[in-house]
Chains A and B, each alone.
Chain A
């Protein structure tokens, strides 16, 4: 019987902390060792709250595995100041937060690539001015090399641009909460979710 070889098996995802979203993501969570793109119309629409539970789970120090240090979370070129008291409230380990403020866009991509491929960062959040197809592919490869999770925040105009990201989602304001549409999902299917955050 032919079972269909070569079909990409969805690897285990990182639970997002939002059940509704996990159900629609292959692997039951954020794709690991891959690039995720989040398209937003404006800052503050709920993009950070969407990530916080997953980021917090990356910082947890496992007492049973004391030899494994939790990975770092790098913020490359954030548009505002990530506020430590709030991060702490969400359960982020502040001693593992790295803020990088490069001077120009090529340095943003370089820094993110370095952080991803180093193997020390569990997640790298970046806010590039522009991200072309080639750059996204580089980030994807760096994330695979360093077993890290890359999250790029991009404007809605990037929707029509090609990208190598494993997951692309778009956030927009809904009637009561944030509306989330999955534009592209490797091994999954597009969907629209309401009031996730």
Chain B
């Protein structure tokens, strides 16, 4: 029973691969489904059902120039002459039409802004959109200069059904200022053509695709004008007419490529796509139309960049520890502002807090014309689990974590001024500890197992201080009284910093416990004339 019910599904999935089909002689079958001849040989059989969501952006050249300006006109050079490509809302109302010369458009509406079309900028906008779309599907592909495709069969359950997903994407596009035509179909090409034809349809079943495509005019195919014109001359005006043509003749006249496209759109052939992958490092620029020195405004722009950065990392479930802001000036060298965190993070608010602290101290030599934000190397973000509240002893109420505190302190007083400590297994007192970098990617293991049985002072002088002598006796605010010692510490020849010292615990007349030593390498430092020198190295505190 099950096999009978499944048979139509298998039928659409079993189709020759494109390469096999073009070479196979038996592939010469009519385009029309009611045609004669054998069906394509089944080569692959996948049971995965796919659903493609197409976003067609007809006004992308206009929208890429920035939102909000309704009197904007995008012009493009066509055969050496500038022509209006697209006109904004106000320009349209004034009668500006695509194809007009810029002068004609200016005569109709003197206040309009002319902007040259930039394909690179459109591509950047498309990539930004693709990045944003990655939250809805793991498979996003840029299918053309103005078309984005998403595979959504796997996302339906997560986003609570087709209707809800469609609404979320549509609302998101609208808030970002894009007028998009959306269509959903079981094959990527069918979805693209339906979107180009402005059909707000959803074709979930493969069997229904032919019927849906039949009425679409030829321009939806986005074929070269020559092919379209030639088809029109034959009296073919829509895809339905196209499908009625004999396969062999169609392939000879218009190329196998077009025939393959039709087959792929109908689901007779598989249509593999490459998923778009955003670069792993974030880099975004914000260019201003004029120089700015309003610091609040610059901060607001930085915040926008940080928000974009957060979205970028969110789609990848990553965080970063380092960021670099670069402020460009027209005449002076660019000012850079690196930011670092103890822990990888992506939250824009967190980075903005750090930026604000550092930005206060930053001096800009000139007004700023552009800001660039470059993200550091990324790493998987580890989030901490929350704590359950039913333990007897309530945990300390934390307003912010240690890492945040260290970041705040370091942001204001400098990275090198905030550090931890660790003990090092070395007998020489000056090497028995080291500063621990709280900002290191991997925290150095803190030696906690070492247990010193030896008496050591709590305060250490950065460098041993030479003690004055009287009658061969060291002085520190008076004559020293030795309490313990000597403890002989010797050698370190392996790193050329050998010592030979006798350490004593001594009390000075003021009642302060001191850790002093007699240097037995008196010849080496040459400060005393052959006599053993006494140094103060620590205070017992």
Q: Which residues of A contact B (CB under 8 A)?
A: 41-49, 52, 62, 65, 67-69, 71-72, 79-90, 93-95, 97-103, 107, 110-111, 114-115, 117-122, 145-147, 173-174, 177-178
Pick from A46, A89, A99: contact of B420, CB under 8 Å? A99
- CB pair A49 B400 closer than 8 Å: no
Tell me if B461 is interfacial: C-beta within 8 Å of chain A: yes
Give the CA-CA distance A101 to B462 in the complex, in Å. 14
- CB pair A147 B512 closer than 8 Å: no
In the complex, residue of chain B having the shortest beta-carbon distance to the beta carbon of A83: B460
Knowing A43-B459, A146-B399 are in contact, say whether A89-B452 is a contact too (CB < 8 A): yes
- CB pair A67 B395 closer than 8 Å: yes
Least Cβ–Cβ distance between A38 and chain B, in angstroms: 12
How many cross-chain pairs have Cβ atoms below 8 Å apart between A and B?
Answer: 175
Tell me if B422 is interfacial: C-beta within 8 Å of chain A: yes
Give the CA-CA distance A145 to B396 in the complex, in Å. 11
- CB pair A119 B459 closer than 8 Å: no
B-side contacts of A68, CB under 8 Å = 391, 393, 395-396
- CB pair A80 B459 closer than 8 Å: yes
In the complex, residue of chain B having the shortest beta-carbon distance to the beta carbon of A93: B448
- CB pair B460 A80 closer than 8 Å: yes
B-side contacts of A145, CB under 8 Å = 399
Give the CA-CA distance A84 to B446 in the complex, in Å. 11
- CB pair A81 B541 closer than 8 Å: no
| Chain A to chain B: the 6 pairs with minimum beta-carbon distance, closest first | A173-B511, A48-B541, A44-B539, A84-B433, A86-B456, A83-B460
- CB pair B448 A84 closer than 8 Å: no
Extra contacts, 7 of them, besides A43-B539, A49-B540, A89-B451 (Cβ < 8 A), are A44-B513, A46-B541, A71-B396, A86-B457, A93-B448, A97-B421, A118-B399
- CB pair A81 B422 closer than 8 Å: no
Tell me if B458 is interfacial: C-beta within 8 Å of chain A: yes
Give the CA-CA distance A81 to B463 in the complex, in Å. 10
Chain B interface mostly helix, strand, loop or mixed?
Answer: loop
Q: Which of B398-442 contact A (CB under 8 A)?
A: 398-402, 404-406, 408-409, 412-414, 417-423, 429, 432-433, 435, 438
Least Cβ–Cβ distance between A67 and chain B, in angstroms: 5
Least Cβ–Cβ distance between B434 and chain A, in angstroms: 8
- CB pair B399 A43 closer than 8 Å: no
- CB pair A95 B409 closer than 8 Å: no
Pick from A48, A118, A120, A178: contact of B459, CB under 8 Å? A48
Pick from A41, A89, A114, A146: contact of B409, CB under 8 Å? A114
B-side contacts of A52, CB under 8 Å = 458
Least Cβ–Cβ distance between A83 and chain B, in angstroms: 4
A-side contacts of B514, CB under 8 Å = 44
- CB pair A118 B398 closer than 8 Å: yes
- CB pair B399 A80 closer than 8 Å: no
Pick from B406, B458, B512: contact of A83, CB under 8 Å? B458
Give the CA-CA distance A45 to B507 in the complex, in Å. 10
Pick from A90, A110, A118, A177: contact of B404, CB under 8 Å? A118
Give the CA-CA distance A121 to B398 in the complex, in Å. 9
Least Cβ–Cβ distance between B125 and chain A, in angstroms: 42
Give per-residue flags for B474-514: 1 if the beta carbon is below 8 A from chain A beta carbons, else 0.
00000000000000000000000000000000000011111
In the complex, residue of chain A having the shortest beta-carbon distance to the beta carbon of B423: A84
A-side contacts of B438, CB under 8 Å = 98
Give the CA-CA distance A36 to B392 in the complex, in Å. 29
In the complex, residue of chain A having the shortest beta-carbon distance to the beta carbon of B539: A44
Tell me if B471 is interfacial: C-beta within 8 Å of chain A: no
- CB pair A119 B446 closer than 8 Å: no
- CB pair A99 B421 closer than 8 Å: yes
- CB pair A67 B420 closer than 8 Å: no
B-side contacts of A177, CB under 8 Å = 511
B-side contacts of A90, CB under 8 Å = 458
Least Cβ–Cβ distance between A109 and chain B, in angstroms: 12
B-side contacts of A88, CB under 8 Å = 423, 448, 450-452
Give per-residue flags for B372-408: 1 if the beta carbon is below 8 A from chain A beta carbons, else 0.
0000000000000001100111011111111011101
A-side contacts of B450, CB under 8 Å = 85, 88
Least Cβ–Cβ distance between B287 and chain A, in angstroms: 36
Least Cβ–Cβ distance between B343 and chain A, in angstroms: 13
Tell me if B538 is interfacial: C-beta within 8 Å of chain A: yes
The interface centre, meaning the residue of B452, B459, B510 with most chain A CB atoms within 10 A of its CB, is B459
Give the CA-CA distance A119 to B457 in the complex, in Å. 30
B-side contacts of A81, CB under 8 Å = 459-462
Give the CA-CA distance A102 to B408 in the complex, in Å. 13
A-side contacts of B541, CB under 8 Å = 43-44, 46-49
In the complex, residue of chain A having the shortest beta-carbon distance to the beta carbon of B449: A88
Least Cβ–Cβ distance between A160 and chain B, in angstroms: 22
- CB pair B417 A114 closer than 8 Å: no
- CB pair A45 B512 closer than 8 Å: yes
Give the CA-CA distance A45 to B392 in the complex, in Å. 40
Give the CA-CA distance A114 to B406 in the complex, in Å. 10
B-side contacts of A178, CB under 8 Å = 511
Give the CA-CA distance A178 to B540 in the complex, in Å. 13
A-side contacts of B538, CB under 8 Å = 83
Give the CA-CA distance A72 to B446 in the complex, in Å. 14
- CB pair A48 B391 closer than 8 Å: no
Pick from B398, B401, B417, B423: contact of A102, CB under 8 Å? B417
Knowing A43-B541, A47-B541, A67-B391 are in contact, say whether A119-B417 is a contact too (CB < 8 A): no
B-side contacts of A146, CB under 8 Å = 399
- CB pair B421 A84 closer than 8 Å: yes
Least Cβ–Cβ distance between A77 and chain B, in angstroms: 10
- CB pair A67 B387 closer than 8 Å: yes
Least Cβ–Cβ distance between A59 and chain B, in angstroms: 10
In the complex, residue of chain B having the shortest beta-carbon distance to the beta carbon of A98: B420
Give the CA-CA distance A81 to B446 in the complex, in Å. 18
B-side contacts of A93, CB under 8 Å = 448
Least Cβ–Cβ distance between A43 and chain B, in angstroms: 6
In the complex, residue of chain B having the shortest beta-carbon distance to the beta carbon of A48: B541
In the complex, residue of chain A having the shortest beta-carbon distance to the beta carbon of B408: A114
In the complex, residue of chain A having the shortest beta-carbon distance to the beta carbon of B453: A89
- CB pair B402 A100 closer than 8 Å: no
- CB pair A111 B413 closer than 8 Å: yes
A-side contacts of B419, CB under 8 Å = 98-99
- CB pair B413 A48 closer than 8 Å: no
- CB pair A65 B413 closer than 8 Å: no
Pick from A84, A89, A107, A122: contact of B412, CB under 8 Å? A107
Q: Which of B8-24 contact A (CB under 8 A)?
A: none
Knowing A44-B512, A52-B458, A111-B413 are in contact, say whether A120-B418 is a contact too (CB < 8 A): no
